[in-house]
């Protein structure tokens, strides 16, 4: 049995997220079906994490095990020939048999893009959140830095079916910052892991600081485990992209 690691890019607009769901078109569902067809048997394919409906990726990581002796390069070409054009395997390699794309991941990096000009070009509308109104970008940068470190992000997480398991919502954020790319304000955040909708809640909360609705003290309060409410609002999924997943 061979273990294959895949780097996957996708336009999430037409998919109901990453995770397989009955009766829904998902990225994981497409990859598993195509791989199973090439293998001639069921293939269990895991990802580094779930992305929501409408979220994009340029560096999602997945892994599968197959018996097929096909060379890796040929396997990638065969997969890409059968996948929809909105999903592409960008790279693949053989790894040790116990590699797991989620449990072995050390860091994940996401970007959230806000389009700042008065008119959003139609070609960008599916990949940004349009906000042409005044923002204090220096304040957003200051507050973004407060996210760095180890915190309880319960206030920044949507309800999850796994909440009943009582798992910790403490995560470590290695970097949290903004940069300008022309008319786009890009929020880049790198962490050990992320909760459901967490990056969209972070981006929405930091947008409120730019509007003047929240202060740095309010951000600190939302990072406390006893904060009584939810942070946010959560911004639309279209502006979010999984950039890369890093391993040892």
Given a cut of 80, is residue 223 above it in pLDDT? yes
Look at residue 101 and tell me if it is in a domain. Answer: no
Domain annotation covers residue 100: no
pLDDT of residue 167: 83
CATH label of the domain that carries residue 217: 3.30.70.660
pLDDT tens profile 52-63: 999 999 999 999
Please tell me which residue in 11, 44, 52, 229 is annotated as part of the active site: 52
- Structural domain ending residue among the three candidates 95, 129, 153: 95
Whether residue 152 sits in one domain with residue 46: no
The answer, yes or no, to whether residue 164 has pLDDT greater than 70, is no
Residue 52 is among the residues annotated as catalytic for this protein: yes
- Residues with Cβ within 8 Å of 9's Cβ and at least 6 positions away in sequence, in order, are 57, 58, 59, 60, 87, 88, 90
Helical packing angle, 198-211 and 137-146, nearest 10°? 140
The domain in which residue 158 lies consists of 107-246
172-209 pLDDT, tens digit per residue, is: 999 999 999 999 999 999 999 999 999 999 999 999 99
Return d(Cα 69, Cα 205) in angstroms, integer: 49
User: Per-residue pLDDT for 150 more than 80?
Assistant: yes
**pLDDT at residue 232, as a whole number:** 85
Separation in Å, CA 161 to CA 21, 57, 132, 157, 201: 14, 24, 36, 12, 18
Q: What is the pTM of this model?
A: 0.95
């Amino acid at each position: 049995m061979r273990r294959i690691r895949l780097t996957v890019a996708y336009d999430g607009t037409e998919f109901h997220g990453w995770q397989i769901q009955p009766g829904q078109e998902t990225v994981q569902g497409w990859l598993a079906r195509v791989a199973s067809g090439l293998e001639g048997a069921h293939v269990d394919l895991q990802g580094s994490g779930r992305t929501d409906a409408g979220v994009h990726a340029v560096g999602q990581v997945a892994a599968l095990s197959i018996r097929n002796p096909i060379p890796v390069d040929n396997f990638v070409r065969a997969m890409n020939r059968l996948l929809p054009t909105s999903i592409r395997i960008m790279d693949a390699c053989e790894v040790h048999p116990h590699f797991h794309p989620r449990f072995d991941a050390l860091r994940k990096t996401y970007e959230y893009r806000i389009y700042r000009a008065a008119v959003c070009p139609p070609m960008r509308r599916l990949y940004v959140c349009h906000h042409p109104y005044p923002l204090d970008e220096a304040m957003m940068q200051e507050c973004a830095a407060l996210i760095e470190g180890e915190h309880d992000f319960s206030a920044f997480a949507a309800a999850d079916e796994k909440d009943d398991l009582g798992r910790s919502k403490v995560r470590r954020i290695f970097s949290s910052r903004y940069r300008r790319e022309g008319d786009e304000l890009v929020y880049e955040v790198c962490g050990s892991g992320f909760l459901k909708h967490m990056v969209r809640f972070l981006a929405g909360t930091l947008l409120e600081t730019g509007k003047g609705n929240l202060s740095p003290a309010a951000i600190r309060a939302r990072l406390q485990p006893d904060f009584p409410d939810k942070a946010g609002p959560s911004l639309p999924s279209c502006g979010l992209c999984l950039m890369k997943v890093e391993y040892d």
